[in-house]
Structure 1
Amino acid sequence: MAPVFGSLSRRQLLQLGAAAGLLAACRPADGPELLQVEGELPAAWLKQLPGPWRARALANPAAVQRAGFAAGRPGPGLVSLSDGWASGLGRERLQSFGAPRLWARLAPFSAGVSGLFGPAGSGELAFPWAYSPWVIALRSRPDLVARRLQGWSLLLDPSLRGRLVLPSAPRISLEIVKGDFGQLERLRAQALAYDDRDGLNLLLSGNAEVAVLPLQRLIPLLRRDQRLAVIWPDSGAPLSWQLLLRPAAPQDFEPTPPPLEWLGAVLEPPLLEPLLATGWVPPLPQAVLEPVARRFPASMAALLLPGDALLGRCWSLPPLSLPEQLAQQNLWDAAAPRP
């Protein structure tokens, strides 16, 4: 029997080959992809990612954002970003997870970030798998720890001038002082550096005595370094979030369903205990977390399980409008220390 393509011209064959190549390029070669910043997803959780899903790590959030949301071509099935990076994405670049039962397991304080602070009923555009408050980390300062009830005002203690590390993002410092210009001036005069990425190294090396850092980075160290102490101010703290997002699929491209069973695994044993031990705290109701958190030393358990009252005084950070950004930048610049 003659080949099926026997009557096709060479030109038609080339056209068919090109079309097949385009179709192949639109499909992930090895299954759907989860794109993340290197080291930002817990290894124990990643190991459970089901096939044919595969994880790929890039060096920083900017690279993940560029690769995950490139225009005009199919992106990865899931993208891992913090709320600060995710809030800069237009809602049209995302698709809903469509899994209300999974989101119903989360505590109410995660609702705003689940919808990326959009109107109620707009769907779950982000899976907030972990949160972390910004807290005060102290090294060998028992005198300040004894005054922990003073909360954020401890950062203005005269002994900390040139010994304090503040976050890289000015917004966190502005949130801490509630936009008070006088306090912001005093706070900026205290700063040794604005560097939350290397702030922990500055603290551990003794170059700084206090740093404002995400709690997640401190939890693994508290058992090993008795010089460290953490204060979560009773007045509350700004929260940072770790999110998984679904990039919107191009028109006429079938989106990959999210691995819902894998997503849910981060909210329950056996993953929950190792996650808490490394500082990753899912936004579950406190009653759900309590049996696991109580297995840790009391000082750690108090940080992992702060209680609904304290959580109710904490706040997430919605994206700012352009006028709000300009106003904050002007306030920040005006409060800079004078030579």
Structure 2
Amino acid sequence: MFSKFPTRREFLKCGKLSLLFFLYSCSNLPNKVKIALQNSFYPESFKDTIPKDWKQEKINFENIQLQKNRNTIFNSDFTLINDGWISSIDFSEFEKINEYALFENLDKRSIDFLGSFDQNLRSKLFPIGVVPYTIIIKNNKELITSARTSWDFLLSEKLTGKIIFPQSPRIILSIAQKINSSNSLKKLKSQAMLFDDKNMLNWLINSDAIVAIVPYSLCSKYLKIDPRLSLVFPSQGVPLMWHFLLSRSNLNNAILMKWIKSLENKSIVDKLVSQGWFLPFNSDYLQSKYKTEMLPISGPSEKCWENSWSFPVLTNEQKINLKNIWNESLSP
């Protein structure tokens, strides 16, 4: 028992015991769940749904070969990735995820898309969002009517050198295939002002460009602050960008399922849709978002959704073929 005024030795002993107790307590706390994601791909409304006690780790798939980026993914419980970067991931590092009961919540669109992947990839990919590309038109109301029908309007003479395209030959080729014209790819590329994925909207706003083709989730805030911009989804369909969740651990299944289920809250669904993010689940309320026009900004019509297309992983032969088609379109 300590005296009324403890000696220096007794005080130090008490301090050591307190420190040991603190370290023991910390060692028994569960590790924080970590989720790796490339920040710029996700609207704020989606990032806000991630549980507050999870740690969001920033990655950049453009630097996927950097050791730091690989280490971040390796040390995270979950990783978010879009379909354009799937080939950059080592799937041997991830666990099967579609054996969860959550798989039953997926809608037909996402199940069909998963079916385009081989079994190893399919079992480790959980679709968590689909984002339609959209056409942004600046100060040209007369183009809107034709743009709502098909992609043919992109070959208009007034758009020569005035279009900002995604930096993806595959997306551009897929749009060219929808255009009713011979040599459509070569003609389409001749309309380009530039190809850019990062600053396309800044270029559109601050240059002579008239049209930009961008993911819906990246442009909603610009539409609210710049009245010159109009949003169009051709009824002919649009390219779709899919986002997937991957898991490195089976230890957090219950935590993961709780988060996924929370996304179906109606107020969350409404916020996500208002920023261009659609959940690929089969609940009636979620599916209604694919069938109506959203105000004040119009989203894709039901017909546009029906005609839209996705991009499964290319085989090596398909990659070579795509490269050859793209290069041939460069020749005079």
TM-score, normalisation: structure 1: 0.76
Q: CA deviation digits over 1:269-307, x for unaligned, max 9?
A: 33222222222221245841377799986352x416x32
- The worse-fitting range, judged by mean Cα deviation, of 280-289 and 213-222 is 280-289
Secondary structure at the aligned position of 2:127 is classed as strand
Q: How far apart are residue 160 of structure 1 and its match? A: 0.7
Matched, 1:329 2:323: yes
Helix, strand or coil: the match of 2:267?
coil
Within 1, Cα distance between the matches of 2:103 and 2:194? Answer: 39
Aligned to 2:3: none
Question: Which residue of the partner structure matches residue 311 of structure 1?
Answer: 305
Partners of 2:66 and 2:272 lie apart in 1 by: 25
Q: Matches of 1:296 and 1:182 in 2, distance apart? A: 34
Amino acid at match of 1:106: L
Residues 227-242 of structure 1: matches in 2 within 5 Å? 227-242=228-243
- Which residue in the other structure is 1:277 paired with? 274
SS in structure 2 opposite 1:211? strand
Q: Is the 8 A contact 1:132 1:239 kept in 2?
A: yes
Give the letter aligned to residue 289 of structure 1.
L
Cα separation, 2, equivalents of 1:45 and 1:213: 18
| CA separation of 1:146 and 1:74: change in aligned 2, threshold 3 A | closer
Q: Do the aligned partners of 2:61 and 2:85 also contact (CA within 8 Å) in 1?
A: no
Cα deviations by residue, 1:298-330 (Å, 9 ceiling, x for unpaired): 352x416x32x4322212101111121111111
Report the Cα offset of residue 133 of structure 1: 1.7
Shift of 1:93: 3.5
CA distance 1:160–1:49, change in 2 (3 Å): closer
Matched-pair contact (CA < 8 Å) for 1:81–1:244: yes
Q: 2:286 aligns with which of 285, 289, 292?
A: 289
Deviations 1:178-214 (A, max 9, x none): 2987000101111110113211111111331001111
| Alignment deviations for residues 244-287 of structure 1 (CA, whole Å, 9 cap, x no partner) | 1113x6xxxx7543521112222323322222222222124584
- Verify: 1:154 aligned to 2:148, yes or no: no
User: Any stretches of 5+ residues in structure 1 without a counterpart?
Assistant: 1-23
1:36-85 C-alpha deviation (Å, 9 max, x unpaired): 112434545545544763221134553499657559x9531101111111
**Pair 1:86–1:60, CA change in 2 (3 A):** closer
Q: Give 3-state SS (helix, strand or coil) of 2:225's partner.
A: coil
C-alpha distance in structure 1 between counterparts of 2:197 and 2:185, whole Å:
18
Q: How many Å apart are 1:156 and its aligned residue?
A: 0.7
User: In the alignment, what sits opposite 1:84?
Assistant: 84
Distance change >3 Å, CA 77–CA 68, structure 1 → 2: farther
Pair 1:189 & 2:212 matched: no
Contact 1:189/1:336 (<8 A) preserved: no
Paired residues of 2:264 and 2:286 also in contact (CA < 8 A): no
Contact 1:276 1:293 in 2 (8 A): no
Q: 1:132 and 2:131 equivalent?
A: yes
Residue number in structure 2 paired with 1:6:
none
Shift of 1:154: 1.0
User: What is the one-letter code of the residue matched to 2:106?
Assistant: L
**Contact conserved, 2:59 with 2:69, CA < 8 A, in 1?**
no
Could you say what the CA RMSD is over the residues aligned between the two structures, in angstroms?
A: 3.5
Check 1:168–1:98 CA distance in 2 against 1; reply closer, same or farther (3 A cut).
Answer: closer
Once the 2 structures are TM-superposed, how far is the Cα of residue 173 of structure 1 from its aligned partner?
Answer: 0.5
Q: Aligned residues, how many? A: 303
Cα displacement (A) at 1:30 = 4.0
Equivalent residues of 2:98, 2:126 under 8 A apart: no
- 2:39 match: 38
